[in-house]
Amino acid sequence: MEIFREDGHLTEEALAALAQGAALEETARLELAEHLAFCDRCLQRYTELLAETPLLTPGRSCRESLWARVRARTLRLVTNRYAAAAAAVALALTMVWGSRGIELPQRIVLPRPSISQELRTWPAKWNDSLDGAVSGLNDFLNGRETPVQGGMDS
């Protein structure tokens, strides 16, 4: 069997043998496959040959069983969606009705000094503590006793 024509493309005989699944030599099958991999014209001819061959008909149609499965699945999806929505509504109503008698605590706002106030008063505080430390040191150096806080004096 001749595989290639004179113009380098596959012969009708080779394409028909390939389309009908005839037994071919291994080298012939390799050459056919290699040519079909890169030649669009021969691939088109081969596809047209394949389209002419009669299609297989299934032993039994799966259309009815498929439709039944699609309907059952749709019903299950819709049921699940409505069940989830109903559960959410029931939970929300339970929370709304259950919280009727409960008084929520009022929000307690503590006065917080602002940072600018803190920055304005810290030199005065620092001055006072420095004065206290210096006067305590002076008292110690002059021999005077400072009253100890905490109840040590009798």
Q: Which amino acid is at 145?
A: E
Contact 46, 12 (CB under 8 A): no
Give the Cα-Cα-Cα angle 84, 89, 91 (nearest 5 degrees): 95
Residue with Cβ nearer Zn ion (41 or 73)? 41
Least distance to Zn ion from the beta carbon of 34, Å? 11
Least distance to Zn ion from the beta carbon of 5, Å? 8
Least distance to Zn ion from the beta carbon of 23, Å? 22
Two tokens, residue 100: 């009727």
Could you give the string, one character per residue 93-132, with x where binding to Zn ion holds by CB under 5 A and - elsewhere? ----------------------------------------
Q: Which residues between 14 and 53 bind Zn ion (CB under 5 A)? A: 39, 42
Q: Which amino acid is at 127?
A: N
Question: Site for Zn ion (CB under 5 A): which residue of 4, 9, 24, 28?
Answer: 9
Residue with Cβ nearer Zn ion (1 or 70)? 1
Two tokens, residue 123: 């030199």
CA dist 29 and 117 (Å) reads 93
Angle between helices 26-38 and 40-52 in degrees, nearest 10: 110
Q: Which range, of 3-11, 66-74, 99-107, 114-122, touches Zn ion by CB under 5 A?
A: 3-11
Least distance to Zn ion from the beta carbon of 52, Å? 19
Token pair 């009253």 is at which residue? 147
CA dist 11 and 114 (Å) reads 95
Least distance to Zn ion from the beta carbon of 37, Å? 10
Question: Is 3 a binder of Zn ion (CB under 5 A)?
Answer: no
Please report, as ranges, the residues that interact with Zn ion according to CB under 5 A.
Answer: 9, 39, 42
